Structure 1
Amino acid sequence: MCADVTADYSNTVFLPETDFPMRAGLPAREPDWLARWEKIGVYDRLREKALADARTPFTLHDGPPYANGHLHIGHALNKILKDMVVRSQQMMGKDARYVPGWDCHGLPIEWKIEEQYRAKGLNKDDVDVVAFRQECRKFAEGWIDVQRSEFKRLGVTGKWEKPYLTMDYHAEAVIADEFMKFVTNGSLYQGSKPVMWSPVEKTALAEAEIEYHDHTSHTVWVRFPVVALDQINNPAVLSLQTGNEDRGELLNSLGKASIVIWTTTPWTIPQNRAVSYSPSISYGMYKVDSVEENSTAKVGEVLLMSDALMEGIAKASRCSLTRLCGVGHLDGVTLAHPYRGIEGGAGEWDYDVPLLPGEHVTDDAGTGFVHTAPSHGDDDYQMGLKFQLPMTYNVEADGSYRADLPLFGGQFIINAEGKEGAANVSNIKALHAQGALLAKGKVKHSYPHSWRSKAPVIYRNTPQWFVAIDKPLDDGMSTYGDTIRTRALNSINQLVTWTPIAGRNRLHSMIEARPDWVLSRQRAWGVPLTCFTKVGAKPTDADFILRNQDVNARIKEAFEAEGADVWYVQGFKEKVLHGIVDPSRYNQVFDVLDVWFDSGSTHAFVLRDREDGSADGIADLYLEGTDQHRGWFHSSMLQACGTKGRAPYRGVLTHGFTLDEKGMKMSKSIGNTVAPEEVIKEYGADILRLWVAQSDYTVDLRIGKEILKGVADSYRRLRNTMRFLLGNLAGFTEAEKVAHADMPELEQWVLHRLAELDAEVRAGYARYDFQGVFQKLFTFATTDLSAIYFDIRKDCLYCDPADSQRRRAARTVLDIVFHRLTTWLAPVLVFTMEEVWLCRFPGEQSSVHLIDMPETPAEWMQPSLGLKWDEIRRARRMVTAGLEVERTNKVIGSSLEAAPIVYAAPDLARVLRSVDFAEICITSGIEIKSNELAPMSAYRPLNVVNDLQVDFKHADGEKCQRCWRILPDVGSHKHPGTCQRCNDALG
């Protein structure tokens, strides 16, 4: 009997039904979900739920961004990562707290206000300091509101209505109180040493405020004449080459020789106090034999230099040199300053310059002798301490020489615009006039710049306030050591988990080698160094700093009530010291704290003091970019080790920087920046979040138009998966569910995969491996589900009777998959998973973000079943490949036109016969035979185990007009043109 080809059964098929649109329209729709979450109070409801359930707290402490501009893509990366951490921890059963914060003090904000003043022709120093600080506060408040809105637009959850601000009165009081703990424990001291100084900003800078750029510097080779040889009779001074030289004549030459130094900072020559050498370097005494045109070398003069560097010096000075002999035991040599006796010098430089041994001297570059100015470099300063060299104070805060310095007074090294002043060239000319300039040139090298003004900085000796990190502290917190450095290193090694582990090594090496912490800044906007110094006392005196707990308590109380501005109000010193000490005997310090001390103290007024902080004042995680090893991770570690005795965090996660698609650093001048606002406008925030999840954040991340297109394609495929689930779950009820034991093997295999994934997803989220989690979920959704399970079960879902066991089992599994995918993906695709959830569970108070990841029954995990279905899937791929050959050759159009013979090895054949392999391969029939019977014409896939061949056969029978399978029984039933299954479904 032939099928009735005119029959139309389209209305009898259970096609997917859903309002979930194929096109996301995220840019337009996401703001509505944000408003909805705020209206129903999702974040606060989660806190209430956590309290009721007595959940284990998880606290991610926010590293505060500066409140001074719109967000860039790096901000987006950082906040999205934090949000994925918080949401995933919450949905895995924790009480995941996130209090966003802002850094409100310091140069970034003060600099903006100064720029406004300069544009109006005003001078900041002429304005009342309290009024100026109020302008800074107002500026910060404005940008906090802007950035808060921009952060929330990214879908970031948190206590946005009550963030922490370092300029809040309580925060300022705590910062001052934390500083005063260093005053009390004796680790604070005032010292005079070289620090990185910005002439443009007129303040000392921390290492974290420095960035390195290529810079072209002047270079000079300078003669320092020998004026005395204390060890002239020591035979080891000269290393004779043949033994026949006239020792007396050579010693005489040595007494008239010059030692050659090389420097890239000619402006430091007026501050020279010594020349350093290394006892381990081979030095020689050289005679100038000949000179080229324009050389400043003199024929017959004798020069001392490193043997290894002689050729480079000869080339630079355009002369030829002959080695007279080796020179050793140089510590007895005394030199003259190059400016000794200079006209107009007023005797400023008429002093002896000692030649001293220094461990920092190498023969990698230069001359083997190092010009030493203790006021302008750390190595030089250490030499000054060791040998008690005089400090000089020739350079002012604005980068100019002091006005009364002979010859160079008032000249700038770096001027107010960040440009080179006259100082370098003036010194080169003076050296030449003195006959001290052997050679000159220029060199391009990496040089420190202020990351705010972008101007070069200098090393400048100036009185600053320091915390001694190697001084033993008698504060009763010696569990991890008695010095700040020891506590920090022990915390790094014993108390903190590092993601990635390289972060541990980086911070450890920095802490291990770092000098004392410079706390003071010569600025106006910040928390002041709340201390007093005794009039007439020296910094080395025991009573130089006033250490009084009652005074400290008054200061903190005043800051709590009126903020740090009160420090600058006339009469505050008298008020706070009254009745405790004589105010007239003490000076008030007006430097402000390094802003890194502010942010380093946040653990105290956020983690310790807030109800939504941490019970022990320690965060579970700090998460920032890799630059914060020298920034927030570093300062928080030092600060807490001084006041808590240990690190303020148990975990540290670091991410890389953002680059363009070519791997280049983003720059507005190049025009390769990617603004979060533009990405959101075109694609939506979920695409930006998916870019973060797909990327390896442990290295630098690339982003651009082509990359975002790829991300959008991945999103589209995931969205289609979710749409299939929704469409095929229409009308699903609890009564329809089928127990695990009553399910077909295919459904049990899907649940087994869910059990495997559940463990992998939770483990991945626990170690913050968002890329790994997403890759596993994406592969599962697009391969295990869309390409296999959905593909196989579409026939059942569309065509089986509504009450059939197989269809009910399939729908039960779809429901289970729905709950897991939506909650597993919710930390990443916050908007899309909310949309998916509300399509099934609408309601004013409904939200996927109020739901935990479902627990997985142990019975779902069936490893043996998993192995079996690995074999079935492998066989399916080979059958599908064989059918694709026929489709390409236009032998068939659909796999349902085929009923192939599969020739399999005995073990595989048994596996395939235990299931409906035709259903799995989506063919109308399949016959399983021994592979020993396979004809030569059978399809044999290349590069695979040769245990299966496929011989193509057309399906016998007619096409069912309802399910489209080709079966022999079609047309032999009550309903025309149907197979047995469809006829029964129609009743």
Structure 2
Amino acid sequence: MSDQKRDLKDTVFLPKTDFPMKAGLPQKEPGIQARWAEIDLYAKLREARRGREKFILHDGPPYANGEMHIGHALNHILKDMVVRSQSLMGKDAPYVPGWDCHGLPIEWKVEEQYRKKKLNKDDVPRAEFRAECRAYAQHWVDVQRGQLKRLGLLGDWDNPYLTMDYEAEGTIVAELMKFAEAGNLYRGAKPVMWSPVEKTALAEAEVEYEDITSTQIDVAFEIVESPIEELIGAHAVIWTTTPWTIPVNQALAYGPDIEYFAVRGHPSGKILLIAQAGDLPDQIFMRLIGEHLPAGMSIVWAGKGSDLAGTKVRHPMHHLGGFYATPRPMLPGDFVTTDSGTGLVHMAPDHGEDDFELCKTADIHPVFAVMGDGRYRDDWPWLGAGDLDDEGEERRRAVINPKFSAPDGPICSDLRAVGALLSASADYEHSYPHSWRSKAKVIYRATAQWFVPMDTQLEGGGTLRSRALAEIERVEFTPKRGSRRIGSMVEGRPDWVLSRQRAWGVPITLFVRPDGTYLQDAQVNARVIAAIRAEGVDAWEESRKAEFLGDAHDPDEFEMVTDILDVWFDSGCTHAFVLESGKWPVLQWPANLYLEGSDQHRGWFQSSLLESCATRGRAPYDQILTHGFTMDAKGMKMSKSLGNTVNPLKLMEQYGADIIRLWALSVDFTADHRIGDEILKGVGDQYRRLRNTFRYLLGALDGWVGDFSDMGEIPELEVYVLSLLSELDDKLRAAALEYDFNAYTRLLVDFCNEDLSAFFFDIRKDTLYCDGPDSDARNAYRTVLDLLFHALVRYAAPVLVHTAEEVWLTRYPEDGEQGGSVHLLEWPSVPKVAADRDKWERLRALRERVTEAIEPLRREKTIRSSNEAAVTVPASAVPEGVSDEQLAELFISATVTRGQGDEVSVTRSSDNKCGRCWRLLPDVPEDGALCGRCESVVAQLDEAAA
């Protein structure tokens, strides 16, 4: 026997590695990224994948306004995961980032700077103002670019696309001209979402809804003409929550199939015409007189709405003459309901889509009484400049001011004075649209705008709406509910409003005749496009009208449009100037995938769809992937006012980018999801387990030069683990292809934790530490570890981009010296190995029972480790062909015997403990002596040393 007093530590083969357990990601990651920049990793990857099948993710442009927030981080991590995993699977998956640079948010910020200096932007030359907007946008592009790169995103960051690049602006104009030359543009005066604060039309995507409390009023309109004699002199009652629209009322609407009656008994003596449906009359009279419809109230007339055809009322302010003197017709409206109100609706075609469409059938058109700042025109007979009194400007204040429509405000006061106001109370709670930039209320306002028709037949067949809906059916959506969402939006959307009344954007480069038609001349358009490609949007100037029109047209016959394009049209054209332009030869049209937040169903997804369907007949993408929004730890929406926002820049300073990436790829991002300190601590724990798995592999493989092809007969446990790896490989590939990154990371983490660390590594540590260096069992184990290493480091590379690189270069530093990277590798080649899974599932279940039975003895310190346990298991629980020695190895116990009962029992072994492997074995003569195996290994080592 060997000397018991000898220090045997140097005879045990413990894992050895310089890879630290403590990650230090915030300090380490910038150095890794600097190396990527030095070796130009993105270019190397493009060269390595040259000629392969392409996968194109087209980046939706974030807005160049402000620092990156947690939503940006999640969005771009998902995109990076997509392109890296596709590249890992062997595809050429380039990534060209981009930014939206035009539009109101940037213009608004520059105007704020002007206001602080007490300057008016209208006093500054437009070109100079746009230059400031351009500089502002470029500043934030540079800031966001640095912040996004810090997340470890790999892309063509030195050559991004910007919608404000001259070439891009020229392409946007060229796309607009395709609409114009095909006749798919028209100018019309229709109600659109309008911001009186920002003084421009807004797209639906620029509007958010907030709960507010409004004034609700009931107003009586005297009936002056009707085929029903009993109704003449009666009053039709309307209910509205927008009293400010009464000054532009031009008609009333009724439901043709709704039952109505005229009742006498109101304290004013008026006969009131209202709907006779359910408890609606009771609701009405509760508002009017504070009690239900009195029993026995006399009914003057009853009939259907269709009977009211030909009836006319007069406006309550008819005494003002002019506009108010004309009787208002009562018109049939299918949209009228009896859910609330009175069953009669007042119509203001200036301020409602239904109003506009219905009034148009009666040749009634908007009067444009409300100006861009939300005030009534100076010449308007009611509440205009001619109606000023002691309240002065207060009576003409913007209509979005609650005071304007308040029960004691000018509208209600004047209606009350003429006896038309039946009720008014400021207590109606409802959802109302607001500008998401200024947070101010918006209004529907009829203005002259440029539209793309949704239902006009296009050359080549179909309407824009029908083409878009057909493409929505074809495109693959993840999650699938996205198809229904965007489909319902396209199905019901009005014509596309393209124009905005601002300065910072791409001009609507049309020459318009006095009759409203526009010039359709391809040569003129070509000159305009060329000028903007060369000089940017400033080229569209009045001084160049003759130059653009050329000799074929008289400049005096045309007016240059001064409106700019909706910024959503800009972004809707990115597929044209990014995927088709040739500036990025690695890209191609159409894109495989668009990936953005679910709000883009009404934004970029839709504008891109409509633009491409109109000009190319199909969507510019084949797949749509959407993610939800990041909430705080309690599930509340993040808000600066609530103080619950999460800054990804600070998170990276604290945790590192790889932790944020692991969080983003671990949550169910297709729905709204959460982030917070406790959540990130849990993610950090997952990360540490993955890192420790790699640390163990690196240590165990120290000095290993063999490979899988060297291995002879493989032990059954290794076969089983390889079968698990094979299964994992299939599942991870499927998850990557289906963009199920939550499943991808969960599978990876669970495999490392449960199948490796808690099972395979635990069982085989004795073999690794104590078997001889050339033993078949140890070599088989290390061969499988080598295969696991090469698979796992690749699987982890798209997720933990910095850590995987650190792991790879720790084992292969020479690869780093040669400019190599784990991110240049492809999906691992994993042998398809089969095992008796039922047998191993039974054995693992039995192992869990044994572990549970040992634990009480460990707590009581009867035994200190499972190596000291003598275990008895039910014979019926052991699969056929498994020996007691194999069970002891599996359970990491001293001995295993089989009993006839159903229970697992554990006692302390009476054998002596080996001084090297610490197992209690029959062949150890006394505690601290060596077992037969260890004595043989030590002798072999001593002989080699001699």
TM-score of the aligned structures, taking structure 1 as reference length:
0.90
Match of 2:213, SS state, is: strand
| CA apart distance, 1:215 | 1.7
2:524 paired residue number: 551
2:581 paired residue number: 609
Q: Distance in 2 between matches of 1:857 and 1:640?
A: 45
1:856 and 2:861 equivalent? Answer: no
Match of 2:755, SS state, is: helix
1:387 and 2:362 equivalent? Answer: yes
Match of 1:650, SS state, is: strand
| CA apart distance, 1:580 | 2.6
Q: Distance in 2 between matches of 1:417 and 1:139?
A: 33
Residue pairs, 1:232-631, within 5 angstroms: 232=228, 251-252=229-230, 254-288=231-265, 297-299=267-269, 301-308=271-278, 309-318=280-289, 320-321=293-294, 322=297, 324=299, 325-328=301-304, 329-342=306-319, 345-409=320-384, 419-420=401-402, 422=404, 425-442=409-426, 443-474=428-459, 478=460, 481-494=461-474, 496-534=475-513, 536-537=514-515, 539=516, 544-568=517-541, 570-610=542-582, 612=584, 617-631=589-603
- Post-superposition Cα deviations, 1:678-704, rounded to whole Å, max 9, x if no partner, equal 111111111111111110001111111
Tell whether the 8 Å contact from 1:606 to 1:613 is kept in structure 2 after alignment.
Answer: no
Moved more, 122-131 or 177-186: 122-131
| CA apart distance, 1:911 | 4.3
Q: Distance in 1 between matches of 2:671 and 2:721?
A: 35
| CA apart distance, 1:301 | 3.8
Call closer, same or farther: CA 1:519–1:880 in 2, change over 3 Å.
Answer: same
Q: Distance in 1 between matches of 2:274 and 2:731?
A: 68
Moved more, 170-179 or 952-961: 952-961
Q: Distance in 2 between matches of 1:265 and 1:24?
A: 60
Q: Distance in 2 between matches of 1:74 and 1:915?
A: 55
Moved more, 640-649 or 956-965: 956-965
Call closer, same or farther: CA 1:258–1:555 in 2, change over 3 Å.
Answer: same
Q: Distance in 2 between matches of 1:909 and 1:855?
A: 32
Tell whether the 8 Å contact from 1:335 to 1:354 is kept in structure 2 after alignment.
Answer: yes
1:761 and 2:761 equivalent? Answer: no
1:160 and 2:139 equivalent? Answer: no
Call closer, same or farther: CA 1:742–1:915 in 2, change over 3 Å.
Answer: farther
Match of 1:688, SS state, is: helix
1:917 and 2:887 equivalent? Answer: yes
Which of 746, 750, 753 is residue 782 of structure 1 equivalent to?
753
Which of 786, 809, 814 is residue 815 of structure 1 equivalent to?
786
| CA apart distance, 1:211 | 0.4
| CA apart distance, 1:28 | 1.2
Which of 857, 861, 868 is residue 890 of structure 1 equivalent to?
861
| CA apart distance, 1:395 | 0.7
Match of 2:591, SS state, is: coil
Which of 717, 721, 728 is residue 750 of structure 1 equivalent to?
721
Match of 2:322, SS state, is: coil
Write the letter of the residue equivalent to 1:374.
P
Call closer, same or farther: CA 1:976–1:437 in 2, change over 3 Å.
Answer: closer
Moved more, 952-961 or 309-318: 952-961
Q: Distance in 2 between matches of 1:280 and 1:722?
A: 74
Tell whether the 8 Å contact from 1:551 to 1:580 is kept in structure 2 after alignment.
Answer: no
Match of 1:422, SS state, is: helix
Call closer, same or farther: CA 1:155–1:204 in 2, change over 3 Å.
Answer: same
Residue pairs, 1:901-912, within 5 angstroms: 901-905=872-876, 908-912=878-882
Match of 2:882, SS state, is: helix
2:653 paired residue number: 681
Write the letter of the residue equivalent to 1:854.
P
2:108 paired residue number: 111
| CA apart distance, 1:341 | 3.5
Write the letter of the residue equivalent to 2:840.
W
Which of 890, 915, 922 is residue 961 of structure 1 equivalent to?
915
1:223 paired residue number: 220
| CA apart distance, 1:483 | 1.5
- Post-superposition Cα deviations, 1:489-521, rounded to whole Å, max 9, x if no partner, equal 111102x11000000000011111111100000
Q: Distance in 2 between matches of 1:490 and 1:332?
A: 40
| CA apart distance, 1:899 | 2.6
1:80 paired residue number: 77
Tell whether the 8 Å contact from 1:413 to 1:420 is kept in structure 2 after alignment.
Answer: no
| CA apart distance, 1:300 | 5.8
Q: Distance in 1 between matches of 2:737 and 2:712?
A: 31
Q: Distance in 2 between matches of 1:423 and 1:446?
A: 17
Q: Distance in 1 between matches of 2:395 and 2:682?
A: 51
Match of 2:916, SS state, is: coil
Moved more, 954-963 or 811-820: 954-963
- Post-superposition Cα deviations, 1:701-726, rounded to whole Å, max 9, x if no partner, equal 11111111111111112211111111
Tell whether the 8 Å contact from 2:236 to 2:274 is kept in structure 1 after alignment.
Answer: yes
Q: Distance in 2 between matches of 1:827 and 1:414?
A: 60
Call closer, same or farther: CA 1:976–1:507 in 2, change over 3 Å.
Answer: closer
- Post-superposition Cα deviations, 1:181-207, rounded to whole Å, max 9, x if no partner, equal 000111100011000100111100000
Match of 1:395, SS state, is: coil
Residue pairs, 1:17-56, within 5 angstroms: 17-51=16-50, 54-56=51-53
Call closer, same or farther: CA 1:911–1:592 in 2, change over 3 Å.
Answer: farther
Q: Distance in 2 between matches of 1:670 and 1:333?
A: 55
| CA apart distance, 1:353 | 0.8
2:166 paired residue number: 169
Call closer, same or farther: CA 1:516–1:417 in 2, change over 3 Å.
Answer: closer
Q: Distance in 1 between matches of 2:241 and 2:905?
A: 80
List alignment gaps of at least 5 residues for structure 2. 386-392, 941-946
Match of 2:311, SS state, is: strand
Write the letter of the residue equivalent to 2:477.
W
Match of 1:820, SS state, is: helix
The RMSD of aligned alpha carbons is 2.0
- Post-superposition Cα deviations, 1:834-888, rounded to whole Å, max 9, x if no partner, equal 1111110112313111111212233x2x0x4233211221121122222223323
- Post-superposition Cα deviations, 1:659-690, rounded to whole Å, max 9, x if no partner, equal 11111111111100001011111111111111
Q: Distance in 1 between matches of 2:876 and 2:712?
A: 30
Match of 2:457, SS state, is: coil
Q: Distance in 2 between matches of 1:976 and 1:372?
A: 99
Tell whether the 8 Å contact from 2:874 to 2:904 is kept in structure 1 after alignment.
Answer: yes
Write the letter of the residue equivalent to 2:719.
Q
Q: Distance in 2 between matches of 1:971 and 1:182?
A: 94
Which of 794, 798, 811 is residue 827 of structure 1 equivalent to?
798
| CA apart distance, 1:418 | 7.0
Which of 620, 640, 654 is residue 612 of structure 2 equivalent to?
640
- Post-superposition Cα deviations, 1:65-122, rounded to whole Å, max 9, x if no partner, equal 1101001111111111111111111111111111000000000111111111111111
- Post-superposition Cα deviations, 1:578-599, rounded to whole Å, max 9, x if no partner, equal 1231122111111000000000
Call closer, same or farther: CA 1:676–1:718 in 2, change over 3 Å.
Answer: same
1:943 paired residue number: none
Give the length in aligned residue pairs. 919
Q: Distance in 2 between matches of 1:95 and 1:299?
A: 81
| CA apart distance, 1:981 | 1.1
- Post-superposition Cα deviations, 1:466-496, rounded to whole Å, max 9, x if no partner, equal 001211112xxx4xx52211111111102x1
Match of 2:56, SS state, is: strand
Moved more, 145-154 or 427-436: 427-436
1:982 and 2:938 equivalent? Answer: no
Tell whether the 8 Å contact from 1:256 to 1:302 is kept in structure 2 after alignment.
Answer: no
| CA apart distance, 1:348 | 2.8
Q: Distance in 1 between matches of 2:588 and 2:162?
A: 21
| CA apart distance, 1:610 | 3.2
Tell whether the 8 Å contact from 1:266 to 1:428 is kept in structure 2 after alignment.
Answer: yes
TM-score of the aligned structures, taking structure 2 as reference length:
0.94
1:239 paired residue number: none
Q: Distance in 2 between matches of 1:953 and 1:660?
A: 50
Q: Distance in 1 between matches of 2:352 and 2:170?
A: 35
